Amino acid sequence: MFCFLLWHIWKNRNNSIFKQERCPFHEIITRAIRHQEEYVEAQKLNSNPLRTTRAASSNSLYAHPAAGMIKVNFDAAVSLKQNRGASATYVHGMIGVGDSLIAGDNGAQSWLSPSGDFAFGFRQLEKRDLYLLAIWYNKIPDKTIVWFANGDDPAPAGSQVKLIAHRGLVLTSPQGTEIGKSGMLWGAAYGFMNDTGNFIISSSGSEILWQSFDHPTDTLLPGQALERLSPELTLGWGGQMLSSRLTETNFSRGRFQFRLIIDGNAVLNTNNLPTGFPYDAYFWSDTVDSNLSNAGLRVVFNESGYLYVLRANGTRQLLTRGKVVPAAENYHRVTLNFDGVLVQYWHPKSSTGNGGNWSIIRSMPDNICTDIVGGQGTGPCGFNGVCQLNIDERPICSCPQRFSLLDPNDSHGGCRPDFYTQSCEEDVSNSPEDFDFLELENTDWPTSDYERYLPYNMEECKKACSEDCFCSVIVFREGLLEEEAATVKWIPQSIERTAESNLRCFSYEELFIATDGFKEVVGRGSFGIVYKGVVEMGTKVPVAVKKLDKIVEEGEKEFRTEVEVIGQTHHKNLVQLVGFCDEGQHRLLVYEFLRNGTLANFLFKEAKLNWNQRTQIAFGIARGLAYLHEDCSTQIIHCDIKPQNILLDDHYDAKIADFGLAKLLLLDQSQTFTAIRGTKGYVAPEWFRNMPVTVKADVYSFGVLLLEIICGRKCVDTEVSAERAILTEWAYDCYEDGIISALFENEEEAMNDMKKLKRFLEVAIWCIQEDPALRPTMKMAILMLEGIVEVTAPPCPCPFTTVVG
């Protein structure tokens, strides 16, 4: 696909940049939860103000977000002073009426939760003498903000937040002007900064009058939920949804929302900035149902770190993929980032763990560059912005040549042309000689089509656009022309372009520096060595650089195959190709870096993965192969499935690597003849028999690998007895003789899961059938592994090679 951007040859024209007005502060909506567990009389100021039964498991106040119940537990009396101010002492978590904090006061302390995990107070905005009233993680280096009150109206230095009876939290300027408040809260007696990250205001009778969990901003914390919108409910900034920031450092309301809408779907959508009006969704939870008693009722982020949509019938639709790290040792959060990507993160409570960074569990959507295709609003990069997907599934934004950022400090805010665009005004020159085309490969403008020419060659396309005063862009795709521009209802430059190929082209010097001179070897793949490196892609990103040293014909074919194929694939169980280098004799591939290395590192050593981990790895490999075989625009045969080509991420999720031996098939082809490819022990029999090679060759390799995964040994092992040396043969013998347990010596966990173990073994034997027609497809294999499709007893996998006496 080629895109041609029409630009004006005249240069140095001045274009004005319009600055967007900041929306006025929107007052936080107050919703009191009227449910009281018990009435506790207020005591004297120098005694425990809330007396309840002591709980053995906790010494902190906590709230159940669904029921709105509050329980307070203190072992010791606290001293609360009558004359409270910014410098008053207090017990962690407890805030009394009259307590206050002052922005910019170096002596003022924030209000901490009992454990010190969370803090409530003022945070200074970057490079500005303005402050944000916020809640943040207090014990990790970057002090990540999880809630804020005045993003649209930052407070100047000297502003004060104070807990006032009957008024709640009130934020005032140094001159005493009210900036915002939590609302009229009759009977407000105490505030509490909870260890869950929830700030609560309660009455003297322990009734919750207000809590920050009811008014999320851009982040959900464990224990927090979003309710389904009611038809009569109109939401602004705050409320029961997540709304992104405008930029990473500008906390004004942004362009993206996460909501559970009326039909029961949890969606991500863009919105109109001035009004908050929602535009088309670009992610759905698929929990819609015409019968609302079966549709999504609320989005829940539970205390264990799992995000899901709870249907009205009690069933759950998980949004979190795989297993999460334990919440007892790790922080969890779900944040709608300013670029529209909803990300679930975890971070060790020990700030030194994991390099002090947040790790990603899941990003939604999978590819925001291509998923936002609505006719209204802008995508993650603004109008005219180039969107490319980073390794962390966040967008990288840039401007086309001869375009400039609308805001030099905001790469996601859109671009303006540095030239006069074509115009249909009579007094404006529109001569074809005044314009030229910029060619952009693998790029599309997904909307604003208004003409289509078929058949037309490239020159005819250019001529048609240059003679059309409405035309700004032409898209030439595989011999088809789609002419895309704005009609009279659209400004011509209000078109956002999306890069179909998200690969970055590196120079050899860049990769030499990134790998410190190709210093650290992390593996050896087909035709080359793999090195660890770090590249700059907005942030410093660790990568694996595969250097193809053997520049022979076959090596160049592998390089081109990998660049073309992997760059157009995107699946959680495939290793992501970040970029490449094709400079002179240098051929390099740049992949995401996975610290756990290959499956082989764990499968055949004493410190083996447990049974549950191994089964989940098998599922991941199967899903990745099913995607390659059936869900790609171009069908892909991997041809070399083996443990060394399966990488494991931080959560031990499997990712298929090394597409260097992949054989591409056109959609109208189902088989191909080719030279033998693959690794001994995993290669399907048809490779040796001049038979047609189809995706069933990968199914065979998967069957061998599945046996290795469930048995925890190599497919060929010369150090054991002859009858056990070939795993495929020994496994079937054990199955046929009814002694499956012989395959799993000292594997108590697997033996306790005999039903699944037998099912996996039977699927593996079906996959290694010599006759390709007997092997299941990968999608069918998944259904069999999951137990959705019944697995019948498999026949002998190698009848063709049986010796008859």
- 282 band by pLDDT with thresholds 50, 70 and 90: very high
* 365 pLDDT above the threshold of 70: yes
Query: Of 547, 564, 593, which residue is a domain's last?
Result: 593
**Given the DSSP bridges, would you call strands 386-389 and 497-499 parallel, antiparallel or unpaired?**
parallel
Percentage of the chain exceeding pLDDT 90:
35
pLDDT tens-digit profile of 102-134?
998 766 679 999 999 999 999 998 867 899 999
| Euclidean distance between CA atoms 55 and 63, whole angstroms | 14
Q: Which of 359-373, 459-473, 522-536, 657-671 has the highest mean pLDDT?
A: 359-373
Assess whether 605 and 718 both reside in one domain. Answer: yes
Residue 298, in any domain of the structure = yes
pLDDT at 651: 83
Distance of CA 254 to the CA centre of its chain: 19
Cβ-contact 476, 4 below 8 angstroms: yes
Q: Over the stretch 165-175, which tens digit does the pLDDT of each residue have?
A: 888 899 999 99
Q: Per the annotation, where are the binding residues for ATP?
A: 547
Q: Is 44 inside a domain boundary?
A: no
Q: Whats the size of the chain, residue-wise?
A: 805
Q: Is the domain of 285 the same as that of 170?
A: no
Q: How far apart are CA 665 and CA 229, in angstroms?
A: 47
Per the domain annotation, does 24 fall within a domain?
A: no
**Span 698-757, pLDDT tens digits:** 999 999 999 999 888 888 888 888 888 889 999 999 999 888 888 876 778 888 888 899
* Contact in structure between 188 and 206 (CB atoms under 8 Å): no
Of 202-206, 535-539, 603-607, 685-689, which range is least confident? 603-607
Catalytic residues: 640
Q: What is the pLDDT of residue 607?
A: 61
Q: Is residue 36 part of a domain?
A: no
> What's the confidence (pLDDT) of residue 549?
63
pLDDT at res. 237: 37
Q: What pLDDT does residue 744 have?
A: 77
Domain hosting 588: range is 503-593
Instruction: Work out the pLDDT band at 763, boundaries 50, 70, 90.
Output: very high
Does the pLDDT value for residue 556 go beyond 90? no
Whether the per-residue pLDDT at 391 is higher than 60: the answer is yes
Q: Output the DSSP codes for 186-214.
A: TTEEEEEE-TTS-EEEEETTS-EEEEGGG
413 shares its domain with 486: yes
- Among candidates 353, 418, 406, 358, which has minimal Cα distance to 381? 406
- Domain end, chosen from 550, 577, 593, is at 593
List, for residues 565-611, the tens digit of each pLDDT value. Answer: 677 787 889 998 888 888 778 888 899 999 889 999 888 876 678 88
Same domain, 537 and 609: no
690 and 799 housed in the same domain? yes
- Residue 450: both structure tokens together: 């208004």
Q: Convert the pLDDT of each residue in 451-465 to its tens digit.
A: 777 777 778 888 888
Q: Residue 84 — φ and ψ, nearest 5°?
A: -95, 145
Q: Indicate the number of domains in the chain.
A: 5
Two tokens, residue 752: 């306790």
Nearest to 759 by CA among 786, 737, 779, 795: 786
Q: Which of 88-92, 560-564, 675-679 has the lowest mean pLDDT?
A: 88-92
Read off the pLDDT band of 563 (50, 70, 90): confident
pLDDT tens per residue, range 639-688: 889 999 999 988 888 999 876 544 433 333 444 444 445 566 788 888 77
Do 606 and 711 lie in one domain? The reply is: yes
Decide if 195 contacts 114 (C-beta within 8 A): yes
Task: Kindly list the distances between the CA atom of residue 431 and the CA atoms of 186, 217, 399, 434, in Å, as whole numbers in the listed order.
Answer: 71, 51, 26, 5
Residue 305 — pLDDT band, cuts 50, 70, 90?
A: very high
515 near 544, Cβ under 8 Å?
no
Task: Map 395-433 to HEC letters.
Answer: EEEECCCCEEECCCCCCCCCEEECCCCCCCCCCCCCCHH
Whether residues 455 and 377 share a domain: the answer is yes
pLDDT (0 to 100) of residue 562: 63
Mean pLDDT of the chain: 76
Mean pLDDT of 204-221: 92
| Coil, strand or helix at 563 | helix
pLDDT at 481 over 50: no
DSSP characters for 486-555? Answer: --TTS-TT---EEES---EE--HHHHHHHTTTTT-EEEEETTEEEEEEEEEESEEEEEEEEEE---SHHH
The rounded distance, in Å, linking the Cα atoms of 654 and 571 is 11
Q: Is residue 299 situated within a structural domain?
A: yes
Does position 213 have pLDDT exceeding 50, yes or no? yes
- What pLDDT score does 390 carry? 86
Q: What percent of the chain has pLDDT above 70?
A: 73
Model confidence at 477, pLDDT cuts 50, 70, 90, reads low
Provide the token pair at 792: 């019948």
pLDDT of residue 429: 59
Residue 605 is predicted with a pLDDT of 73
- 653 and 670 in a common domain: yes
Of 348, 365, 382, the position where a domain reaches its end is: 365
Shared-domain flag, residues 229 and 325? yes
Residues 497 and 507 in one domain: no
Please report how the helices 611-626 and 778-786 are oriented relative to each other, as an axis angle in degrees rounded to 10.
150
pLDDT at position 630 over 80: yes
Same-domain status, 447 and 476: yes
Quick one: pLDDT at residue 553?
47
| Cis preceding linkage at 365, omega within 30 | yes
pLDDT of residue 345: 95
Examine residue 138 and state whether it is found in any structural domain, yes or no. yes
* Mean pLDDT in residue range 77-100: 53
What CATH number has the domain bearing residue 621?
1.10.510.10
Using alpha carbons, list the distances in angstroms from residue 714 to 676, 687, 764, 768.
22, 21, 15, 15
Asked if the model's pLDDT at residue 98 lies above 70, the reply is: yes
Query: Which two tokens mark 652?
Result: 């031990």
- Tell me, yes or no, whether 683 lies in a domain: yes
Q: Does 432 sit behind a cis peptide bond, omega within 30 degrees of 0 on the bond before it?
A: no
**575 vs 229: which has the higher pLDDT:** 575
Residues 428, 533, single domain; the answer is no
Strands 296-301 and 359-364: unpaired
- Given a cut of 90, whether residue 193 has pLDDT beyond it is yes
Asked whether the CA dihedral 448, 450, 456, 460 is positive or negative, the reply is negative
Residues 403-447: pLDDT tens digits?
Answer: 888 888 888 988 888 776 666 766 655 666 667 777 777 777 766
Q: Is residue 38 part of a domain?
A: no
Task: Count CB neighbours of 650 within 10 A.
Answer: 14
CATH of residue 91's domain is 2.90.10.10
